[in-house]
Amino acid sequence: MKITLLFFLLILTELAHADKFQGVEKNYGKELCFLLHRFVDKSGAKYRSTDSKQEEALCDIDFNSSHIGMCPKTWSTSPGSVIYDIQKSKYNETPSAFEAEYCPKQRLLKGKIDGVDKIASFKQSVNGQFNQSTSATFSQASPLYYHFSRYFNMTVDIPVAVMRTMDAKAHLNRVASKGPKTAQGRMNLAGWNVVKSAEENPSGYHPVNEFYYGVITDGLLYGTLLKGHGERYGAEFNGNITGKGYSQQYLFFQQTPTFYALMSPKGFLDAMSLGITLSKKDPVVAKALNTGVSAEQMMFWMKEMSEISILDYIFSQQDRPGNIDYVWVWYYVNSQGELKSKRSDSELGRPRMESIQVPEEVKNNSKYFLIQKTQLNDNDAGGRKYTNFTKKFSLLEKIRHLNVVTYRQLIHLANDFQAKGELYNYLRDTFYISNSYTDTIAQNTIQAAQILKGICKSGAMKFDLDPETYLVTHKVEQLQVDCENP
């Protein structure tokens, strides 16, 4: 009896604090989409002008529409569902034909069937279950990264994410039953075996509330819905990580121009030059940097890498190197001295960046720059109790350059989490995560603030990372900060 009661109490502590996601709901019969609540304005969070439109576009997707097709993602390590708009294609109003014909060959047919448009990805939590060794995936991680990136006013781009429920039987029939047949790679296959088994045997998945939503008899699974952009970075940002395990990847991740520069106690210009020089000792990195790296690019990379390190520390991310994307963006200063930008559609890698054409509206200005802008789309191995490699390798302890707003927001967040204030309640109540996960995130945040505050107090931290100001002025301003009350 005592053992049973203890087990019951342990299960209760893992249940989500709130009984559902908190936000604006959109109904599709018994299925729901959630535009999650945002950080309040007084927190200092800055959401982007396009965020609302993108959230609404994601929640406007009706999985049951005859204009929507769904395919299993059978590449990479984790399973997921790729959502297509087929309204303008020959498959319009026949999603079953699309899913039978297109899905088994979707990567081969990409861009070859008129009117087929990939509009989102839908990913559930998938961790080791049913004697399967899977990759780590937590569906709430993507919305956590999205909302917290806006809280921190980050330069790195993190896609809008909403939460979506779906009828498990429908997902099994349309997607999960087909995943194992076309899975490419051991871990992807293991992941699809877990999804399929969980949908066939709901009571077997533990904890059940990381896969099913509400009462299990309702048969509603849930996941995150998002659309990322960009191409995968190579060694210029990841380092020489190909073919290496997690621990080795994080070692080589620190041997990149960006991380070497972040670790340098020198001023920005000297630090970035040193970072490039040291990283080129690895021939793979040297080859990736063959076209050269501008100071403007390094300013962006250093700020983005510092932001990634803070978020990954907070959310115990265990799978970062190799999972970072980029898009090309033209920045230019117009005749009024205002900084403007225009995204390029080019998919070319860094070695061929000189082939990217300058748009007319850009070349008509005296100052313009082509920047590899970092996109953080793949964030799903975080948010719960995973191996925190950023913490394990003491990455935050090594940072010597930071943006002042990033630091200020971190200190304020840590103080609130310490007091279990309004921001702590927002975290606890909004994302349908367990009390233990909430407290782990809070403790990581407090520890991250303590680490960076200690570096600040020692006088070793330089608050000199401001890419947009640098593009306009070409002056590096090193700001003085009150370490306790920034």
Note the pLDDT of residue 270: 98
Note the pLDDT of residue 14: 46
Extract the residue ranges of the chain whose pLDDT is less than 70: 1-18
Note the pLDDT of residue 17: 53
Burial 244-272 (b: 16+ CB within 10 A, else e): beeeebbebbbbbbbbbbbbbeeebeebb
Cα–Cα dist 353/297, whole Å: 13
Q: pLDDT tens digits for 277-328?
A: 999 999 999 999 999 999 999 999 999 999 999 999 999 999 999 999 999 9
What is the three-state SS of the chain? CHHHHHHHHHHHHHCECCCCCCEEEEEECCEEEEEECCCCHHHCCCCCCCHHHHHHHHHCCCCCCCCEEEEECCCCCCCCEEEEECCCCCCCCCHHHHHHHCHHHHHHHCCCCCCCEEEEEEECCECCECCECCCCECCCHHHHHHHHHHHCCCCCECCCEEEEEEEHHHHHHHHHCCHHHHCCCHHHHHHHHHHHHHHHCHHHCCCHHHCECCCHHHCEEEEEEECCCCEECCHHHHCCCCCCCHHHHHHHHCCCHHHHHHHCCCCHHHHHHHHHHHHCCCHHHHHHCCCCCCHHHHHHHHHHHHHHHHHHHHCCCCCCCCCCEEEEEEEEECCCCCEEEEECCCCCCHHHHHHCCCCHHHHCCCEEEEEEEEECCCCCCCCCCCCCHHHHCCCHHHCCEECHHHHHHHHHHHHHHHHCCHHHHHHHHHCCCEHHHHHHHHHHHHHHHHHHHHHHHCCCCEECCCHHHHHHHCCCCCECCCCCCC
Cα–Cα dist 430/117, whole Å: 31
Cα–Cα dist 327/95, whole Å: 31
- Give the amino acid at 255: Q
Note the pLDDT of residue 18: 62
Name which of 273, 359, 305, 331 is nearest 470 in CA terms.
331
Note the pLDDT of residue 6: 40
Name which of 252, 262, 314 is nearest 285 in CA terms.
252
Residue 25 sits at φ, ψ, to 5 deg, of: -95, 140
Q: pLDDT tens digits for 183-217?
A: 898 989 999 999 999 999 988 888 999 999 999 99
| pTM given for the model | 0.95
Name which of 8, 128, 44, 26 is nearest 78 in CA terms.
128
